[in-house]
């Protein structure tokens, strides 16, 4: 399944249904940084905004927030969520992160959380002195699980995604570029929630870009024996643990 089709399909998903408990082992917090860097006059662009919940619930009140996504379904969901929220100064619209269509030298802050980016295009749309904040999923995310399956997102990449992103940000002309590895533990209350989660996210099965490959929803065919082995080795106080590896990047124009 291709990435766009996947996101169209999950547009109404509410991940809180998996009741995941997260424990952060590192300190970098995107929302705290965003709060510190912004003020009431800030113009913020959120790339790959999804259903808009993060923007609506966690982004600071400021002059303007534009959330964009290449999935029409996601933008519809974001607009519905916006209507319910009563927040103002927020707009959601369709845009591909790789073909950005926004004014030059316009935004104070650009945020990209768990989505693809083209740092050169981001650089253009930021004001001088503006900030880029990236949060991403790294190659070694859920590594123990990917090892058991012998596959998964980024499993065969020759270099970590974080390093590639970091280099791209520097090469785009940004300064004060900082890359921070983020370590989190996630706990699932039971096997059912754990398995349902894995069937809905591109961790073990990744996106296929092969033309005409309409592999039905991810992972219907996840090998149960392998999953049981992971569960047996990674259950603590009755909860199943998944080790997440993210990364944060901050940079200035």
Ligand X SMILES: C[S@@+](CC[C@H](N)C(=O)[O-])C[C@H]1O[C@@H](n2cnc3c(N)ncnc32)[C@H](O)[C@@H]1O
Position among 5, 96, 167, 184 found at the interface with ligand X (CB under 6 A): 96
Position among 18, 70, 166, 230 found at the interface with ligand X (CB under 6 A): 70
Q: How far is CA 138 from CA 113, 153, 155, 184, 206, in A?
A: 12, 9, 10, 12, 14
CB hemisphere CA count around 231 (13 angstroms): 17
**Geometric angle at alpha carbon 47, from 136 and 202, rounded to 5°:** 45
Position among 98, 178, 191, 233 found at the interface with ligand X (CB under 6 A): 98
Q: Which stretch binds ligand X (CB under 6 A): 108-116, 119-127, 168-176, 217-225?
A: 108-116
Q: List, in sequence order, every residue forming a beta bridge with 132; answer none if it has no partner.
A: 110, 251
Q: How far apart are CA 6 and CA 4, in angstroms?
A: 5
Applying CB under 6 A, does 205 fall inside the site for ligand X? no
Position among 42, 45, 59, 69 found at the interface with ligand X (CB under 6 A): 69
Position among 97, 121, 219, 235 found at the interface with ligand X (CB under 6 A): 97
Distance, first Cα to last Cα, the chain: 36
CB closer to ligand X out of 39 and 114:
114
CB of 23 to ligand X, least distance (A): 19
Closest C-alpha among 102, 107, 88, 138 to residue 38: 107
Q: Which stretch binds ligand X (CB under 6 A): 65-73, 184-192, 231-239, 244-252?
A: 65-73
CB of 135 to ligand X, least distance (A): 7
Contact 165, 6 (CB under 8 A): no
Applying CB under 6 A, does 54 fall inside the site for ligand X? yes
Applying CB under 6 A, does 18 fall inside the site for ligand X? no
E runs forming strands in the chain: 21-24, 43-47, 64-69, 90-94, 107-113, 126-137, 175-188, 235-236, 239-252
Applying CB under 6 A, does 107 fall inside the site for ligand X? no
Query: Could you say which residues in the range 113-152 bind ligand X, by CB under 6 A?
Result: 113-116
Q: How far is CA 186 from CA 15, 22, 24, 114, 236, in A?
A: 13, 5, 9, 17, 11
Q: Which stretch binds ligand X (CB under 6 A): 37-45, 94-102, 177-185, 228-236?
A: 94-102
Position among 18, 42, 44, 50 found at the interface with ligand X (CB under 6 A): 50
Residues contributing to the site for ligand X (CB under 6 A)? 3, 7, 48-50, 54, 69-71, 74, 96-98, 113-116
């Amino acid at each position: 399944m291709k990435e766009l089709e996947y996101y169209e399909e999950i547009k109404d998903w509410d991940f809180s249904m998996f009741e995941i408990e997260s424990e952060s082992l590192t300190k970098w917090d995107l929302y705290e940084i965003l709060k510190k860097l912004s003020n009431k006059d800030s113009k913020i662009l959120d790339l790959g905004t999804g259903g808009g919940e993060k923007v609506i619930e966690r982004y600071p009140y400021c002059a303007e927030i534009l959330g964009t996504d290449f999935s029409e379904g996601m933008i519809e969901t974001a607009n519905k969520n916006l209507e319910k929220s009563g927040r103002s100064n927020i707009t959601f619209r369709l845009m591909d992160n790789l073909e950005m269509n926004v004014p030059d030298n316009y935004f104070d802050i650009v945020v990209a959380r768990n989505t693809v980016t083209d740092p050169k295009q981001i650089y253009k749309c930021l004001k001088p002195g503006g900030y880029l904040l990236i949060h991403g999923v790294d190659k070694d995310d859920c590594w123990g699980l990917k090892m058991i399956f012998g596959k998964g997102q980024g499993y065969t990449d020759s270099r970590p995604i974080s390093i590639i992103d970091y280099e791209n940000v520097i090469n785009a002309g940004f300064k004060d570029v900082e890359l921070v590895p983020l370590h989190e533990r996630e706990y699932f209350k039971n096997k059912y929630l754990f398995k349902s989660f894995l069937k809905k996210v591109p961790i073990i099965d990744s996106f296929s870009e092969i033309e005409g490959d309409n592999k039905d929803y991810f992972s219907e065919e996840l090998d149960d024996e392998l999953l049981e082995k992971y569960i047996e080795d990674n259950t603590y106080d009755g909860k199943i643990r998944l080790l997440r590896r993210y990364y944060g990047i901050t940079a200035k124009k």
